[in-house]
Chains A and B, each alone.
Chain A
Amino acid sequence: MEKRIRVLVAKPGLDGHDRGAKVVARALRDAGFEVIYTGIRLTPEQISEAALQEDVNVVALSLLSGAHNTLFPRIVEMMKAKGLDVLTIGGGVIPDADIPGLKAAGIAEVFTPGTPTEKIIEYIKANVK
């Protein structure tokens, strides 16, 4: 059986709608990935734990509420503490000025609104471990 890339699509934080995350989830499925979709308003603890139990290759975080600078790095740290080594990418409304800081904290790439889903798919295929 061939290996399948498994992606956890998760929405940390308190913002309530997940249209964007669902669009991404569907595009990833159509690209042949297995997408574990966990819904909205998850804590960093829940996201890192789900990543552990699902043994995903990629965690795709989406956030509109502006708490990315605290939440994204915390999730990366928690996954590391659990012994996970996953490609973590972020998306949502993220100011350019925040991107270097997020990358330094272990977010491999940041996709801002309007990025075509093909770009995300290409990025994952090229960088997944």
Chain B
Amino acid sequence: MDIVAELLNGSKLAISRAITTVENEYDEATEIMQKIYPNTGKAYVIGITGPPGAGKSTLTDKITKEYRSRGKSVGIIAVDPSSPFSGGAILGDRIRMNELTMDDGVFIRSMATRGSLGGMSRKTAEVVKILDAAGKDIVIIETVGVGQSEVDIVKTADTTLVVLVPGLGDDIQAIKAGILEIGDVFAINKADREGVERLNLEMEMMLDLDQSETAWRPKIMRTVASQNQGVVELVDAIEDHSTFLTQSGMLEKHRFERTRNEILAMLDEAIKIYLMKKVAGSKFESLTTEVNERKNDPYSAVKSVLSEVLK
């Protein structure tokens, strides 16, 4: 099977195999990514985050159906944490999306974080590219966010949707933890419950305090995902943000930044690997001994290693 050609044709088997190849870092992973790269950059990427059980998957299901009715194809990456003890994971987001499974315009993949912090797997951004190259118009990433761990999604998504629920009692805490700063659009989900007004008011107040000088004021929407209420308006709000980014030139700016960061991150890793190969060995061991016995200091040691390696 010519996995790249079939993937670009939208073959689900090829998409699926390519994701596995990248996720497990098989030998062909780099080659696949190199070949599909020219076909990426077309999909609009939406990140959905929020506390456990807020209704992110239910909302993802409904948002996807709304995009489908607007004629868009959708790729979904549902990320759940790996157990730090066993390394295993239960990936349960699909439960809320079973109706999408038989829709040929939708592809859903569950991923475990596999030890990476920040809410996403280290490979999520690459899976976005695979779905993008396969022709999906919209790519949605669902991650669990608890406080400060959802920063990664902001770096990958064009629009970040933060899902909150009323009546948790820790509304202010969530706000403090920085969740407000990352949202372009907010959904107060489970709006059928008490406490909606209060949460809405608190959030508006926090947004008023925000000093940053972006021209976009995050929108606060209300949804009852389980009853498909407020979803059309929510998707409209996401589209408004998308239009804003495009017209202000910020989409291009953000994507340029993202590309730069990607190259830097890959360079960083490549240099690290190169350095460790060069540095490792008995010479490094004896240098460590010297420093440990206070015959040398770590600052001078680093200097001497660098001048040796970079000769």
B98 in contact with A39 (CB, 8 Å)? yes
A54 at the binding interface (Cβ < 8 Å): yes
Which residues of A are found within 8 Å of B112, using beta-carbon distances?
Answer: 4, 34
Interface range for A: 20 to 34
B195 at the binding interface (Cβ < 8 Å): no
B24 at the binding interface (Cβ < 8 Å): yes
Interface string of A7-31 (1 = CB under 8 A from B): 0000000000000000001101111
Determine how close the nearest CB of chain B comes to the CB of A49; give it in whole angstroms: 5
A37 at the binding interface (Cβ < 8 Å): yes
B90 at the binding interface (Cβ < 8 Å): yes
A34 to B108, CA, bound (A): 16
Interface range for B: 20 to 34
Which residues of B are found within 8 Å of A83, using beta-carbon distances?
Answer: 13
Which residues of A are found within 8 Å of B23, using beta-carbon distances?
Answer: 1
A32 in contact with B102 (CB, 8 Å)? no
B88 in contact with A35 (CB, 8 Å)? yes
Interface residues of A in 35-54 (CB under 8 A from B): 35-39, 42, 45-46, 49-50, 52-54
Interface string of A64-100 (1 = CB under 8 A from B): 0000000000000000001110000000000000000
Determine how close the nearest CB of chain A comes to the CB of B285; give it in whole angstroms: 27
Determine how close the nearest CB of chain B comes to the CB of A83; give it in whole angstroms: 5
B95 in contact with A53 (CB, 8 Å)? no
Q: A35-B89, A42-B98, A45-B102 are in contact. Are A54 and B16 (CB under 8 A)?
A: yes
B86 in contact with A1 (CB, 8 Å)? no
Which residues of B are found within 8 Å of A26, using beta-carbon distances?
Answer: 90
B87 at the binding interface (Cβ < 8 Å): yes
A3 in contact with B24 (CB, 8 Å)? yes
A52 in contact with B16 (CB, 8 Å)? yes
A29 to B85, CA, bound (A): 10
Which residues of B are found within 8 Å of A37, using beta-carbon distances?
Answer: 90-92, 94-95
A42 to B89, CA, bound (A): 21
Q: A34-B88, A37-B91 are in contact. Are A53 and B98 (CB under 8 A)?
A: no
A32 to B87, CA, bound (A): 5
Which residues of A are found within 8 Å of B107, using beta-carbon distances?
Answer: 53
Determine how close the nearest CB of chain A comes to the CB of B235; give it in whole angstroms: 23
Give me 22 A-to-B residue pairs in the complex whose CB atoms sit less than 8 angstroms apart, sorted by A's number.
A4-B87, A25-B90, A29-B86, A29-B90, A32-B86, A32-B88, A34-B89, A36-B94, A37-B92, A38-B94, A46-B102, A49-B102, A50-B94, A52-B12, A53-B15, A53-B16, A53-B101, A54-B16, A54-B110, A55-B17, A55-B20, A83-B13
A residues near B, CB below 8 A? 1-4, 25-26, 28-39, 42, 45-46, 49-50, 52-55, 82-84
Contacts A37-B92, A55-B17 aside, 8 further interface pairs with beta carbons under 8 A come to A1-B122, A3-B24, A37-B90, A37-B94, A52-B12, A53-B109, A54-B110, A55-B20
